[in-house]
Structure 1
Amino acid sequence: MSMVPPALADYPWRVMALLLAIAGFGTIVLYSAATGSIFPWAANQAIRFCVFSAMALTLSRISVDTFARFAFPAYAAILIALVLVELIGGVAGGSQRWINLGFMQLQPSEFMKPAIVLAVARFYAMLPVGEIRRWNAIWPALALIGVPWALVLIQPDLGTATMIAAGGVTVMFLAGLPLRLFIGTGLTLAAIIPIAFSFLHDYQQKRVLIFMDPESDPLGAGYHISQSKIAIGSGGVFGKGFLNGTQSHLDYLPEGHTDFVFATMAEEWGLVGGVLLILAFCILFRWGIRVAMRTTDKFARLTAAGLITTVFFYVAINLMMVMGLAPVVGIPLPFMSYGGSSMLTVMLCIGIVMSIDRSNRRGQNRGNWG
């Protein structure tokens, strides 16, 4: 007989324990990145995780029908906020991405990452099965994705725009659209890459060129990637040891507490630490995929798969970026990189998937008693 009260047993404690392990490890890495101090990064990161964990657990108690009902209104509200960013948004670092609310800087584009998944999933859930291969099943979804993608791209924020497009297109693919559509679109995009490259900002063009040959400017535009590779490679199999990193402590590694936190970790914890961290993320992805496969509701299935894929894109793009396998686009590593916006987005995604998981388990329990 379980000693845990039924109300508490209904919470996804195993998933939360996994997230706590990843975030706890991230806090330790940030502590080391600050040369053995909980300030300014480790303490704030731990507090944010606690707050956003409570938010995710609260979301897990909301019914899936509620998320479906508010998918379009939430999308519209965030879209309006993106327009306001263009009109009254604050500029920092050459980008116009935030709305100053006085007590905080709001970045609406972060909220669009889960919102686009909800909106596109809601559209295909409402679409009759026989319409899935018609043009009417394609252009509304492309419009839902294209408008926020364009608004974010002109901020400019190529990384977030890519994430928004990837999340929406993933739901389109999972909804059952013909494979030839995606192959044809991919070939078309490949053909127009040279034209699109000419429209990128100078710093964005430089990122792409440096990605292709970082050693061509190791002290300039290629400095981030070069130092990241040095940090990861110098860690070896078991790392240099906790608090013994040199690339981050001597400030050779830029952004060692944000975008390149994996390099900071790998230098001190080595290949073993990197493999264990990736394995933990794989366990999280496996849980999300299983939640999507277990549900019979179309909206819930597309939403769970789309949201866990969004988290996957965070991890995959960041790891490829720090290893020199993708251009530097400013995508943080969930629960490891310092910052509130990305953690909020990821916890929103996970909280909604928890809600779908809870709905699945309640449905199974009803079936067992029926």
Structure 2
Amino acid sequence: MARIPERRSLRRRLRPYFTVFDWPLGLVLFMLMITSVIIMSSAGAEFPDRLEHQIRNFLLAFAVMWVAANVPPQMLMRLAVPIYTVGIALLIAVAMFGIIKKGARRWLYVGVDIQPSEILKIATPLMLAWYFQQRANANNWKSFLIAAVLVLVPFILIAKQPDLGTALMVASSGFYVIFLAGLPWKALLGMGIAGAAALPIGWSMMHDYQRERVMTLIDPTSDPLGKGFHIIQSEIAIGSGGMMGKGYGKGTQSYLEFVPEQTTDFLFAVYSEEFGLIGNCFLLIIYLMLIARGMMIAANAPNTFSRLLAGAITMIFFTYAFVNMGMVSGILPVVGVPLPFMSYGGTAFITLGLGAGILMSIQRHRKLVQT
């Protein structure tokens, strides 16, 4: 008598599709996204489609994260050089044929407008992690010098667009890999001294609007209705939130539209006004949990490539949060860096979702190796 195949339960059939996720990391990301939806519904009240589009961005980032989580680190290692090479080629194409918007040549039309510099935020640490994996037992001055060149090439191409904010993000992502690979403290000290000595040269090479941002940071009241308006209104919003905040939907600075870009770069100012210091502490704890989980994944990674890549991606999350909160609070110049997993924006969500997916892939395949 033929044996009837046992029907698997729905749970067992769906389980393979969800085992790719690292649940501690996924829980932290879920908390950030829920917080984003709550504050976006308030900050974007004057933009009816903004919340709907943000949810779409969440779903798109989730899809990218799921795909990345299914790609083994060994495959990522093989793709490192091609992805980096394609990214550099696209940056060169932008310099030659790119679309100019608002005085900057940052986009390339390939049926739709794309911003290739975003690719390098992941491609650069991916390439450097592969490079140091190949030279795991031969890290010397020559190795670090070649790694620095791999970082400088995209940095220069992006800075010339001009897009100094993205260029610095790409450079920092590459620096984290070099640092985690064992860059000597003497080299760090030398780089610090050289950087300080080169400040006058760097100042002379900056564009006028970049120098104005630095001067505005030093004294925003010098042009309170112009260049300093963003910082001043943001600081007022943060300060007026007090300890407990004014309450959800009751932020006067955002409601009266004094806070600029309140759903994107300055979302943190709206959040601070409505939820106050207590809310800010809660948000900081969530970001600390995100960074702690990423560092734990990096520390337990099975090889040099995975360890360096996971550490760099985690520090990218830290840099996003630190720079955004710093610029909104008036301690850093205003640059186009969103609050990770919270600010409105499609491109940034794809990049961040890709990074989170890579972390999950590293964690998942470490478990598979152990079993």
TM range (shorter): over 0.9
- Alpha-carbon distance in 1 for matches of 2:20, 2:190: 45
Distance in 1 separating the partners of 2:344 and 2:20:
31
The residue aligned with 1:140 is 146
* Residue 238, structure 1, aligned to residue 244, structure 2: yes
What are the superposed Cα offsets for residues 222-263 of structure 1, whole Å, 9 maximum, x if unpaired?
111111100001011111111111111211111111111000
Return the offset for 1:111.
1.0
- Partners of 2:265 and 2:336 within 8 A in 1: yes
- CA 1:9/1:349 → structure 2, altered by over 3 Å: closer, same or farther? closer
Question: Which residue of structure 1 aligns with residue 7 of structure 2?
Answer: none
Counterpart in 2 of 1:151?
157
Matched, 1:324 2:330: yes
Pick from 61, 70, 84 the counterpart of residue 93 of structure 2.
84
Describe the shift of the 1:343–1:176 C-alpha distance in structure 2 as closer, same or farther (beyond 3 A).
same
TM-score by length of 2: 0.94
Aligned with 1:175 (options 168, 177, 181) = 181
Aligned to 2:26: 16
Structure 1's unaligned 5+ residue stretches are none
Residue in structure 1 matched with residue 254 of structure 2 by the alignment: 248
SS of match in other structure, 2:38: helix
Aligned equivalent of 1:43: 52
Counterpart amino acid of 1:136?
K
Question: C-alpha displacement at 1:10, in angstroms?
Answer: 4.6
Q: CA deviation at 1:128?
A: 4.4
The aligned counterpart of 2:6 is none
Q: Choose which of 63, 70, 81 in structure 1 pairs with 2:72.
A: 63
**Count of aligned positions:** 360
> Normalized against structure 1, the TM-score is what?
0.94
The amino acid of 1:286's aligned partner reads: A
Query: Which residue among 74, 84, 91 is the counterpart of 1:75?
Result: 84
Residue type at the aligned position of 1:87: M
Q: Distance between the aligned counterparts of 2:20 and 2:93, measured in 1?
A: 40
- Match of residue 281 from structure 1: 287
Which residue matches 2:121? 113
CA RMSD across the alignment: 1.6
Q: What SS does structure 2 have at the residue aligned with 1:11? A: coil
Matched, 1:126 2:134: yes
- Cα displacement (A) at 1:338: 0.9
Amino acid at match of 2:194: T
- Comparing 333-342 and 8-17, the one that deviates more: 8-17
Report how far residue 63 of structure 1 moved. Answer: 0.7
Distance 1:256 1:128 in 2: 45
Counterpart residue identity of residue 234, structure 2: S
CA distance in 1, matches of 2:254, 2:113: 28
**Structure 2, gaps ≥5 residues long:** 1-9
Identity of counterpart residues, as a percentage?
38
